[in-house]
Amino acid sequence: MKIEYPLLSEKAVGAIEKENKIVFIVRKDSTKQEIKEEVERLYKVKVADVNTMISIKGKKKAYVKLTPEFKATDIATKLKII
Q: Which CATH number does the domain housing residue 62 bear?
A: 3.30.70.330
pLDDT for the residue numbered 23: 97
pLDDT for the residue numbered 59: 97
pLDDT tens digits along 60-71: 999 999 999 999
pLDDT tens digits along 20-44: 999 999 999 999 999 999 999 999 9
Residue 48, domain extent: 3-78
Q: Are the C-beta atoms of 26 and 3 separated by less than 8 Å?
A: yes
pLDDT for the residue numbered 10: 94
Band (pLDDT 50/70/90 cuts) for residue 81 is confident
The pTM (predicted TM-score) of the whole model is: 0.94
What residues contact residue 19 under an 8 Å CB cut-off, 6+ apart?
A: 65, 72
If one counts the domains in the chain, the total is 1
**What ranges in the chain are assigned the alpha helix state H?**
10-19, 32-43, 72-78
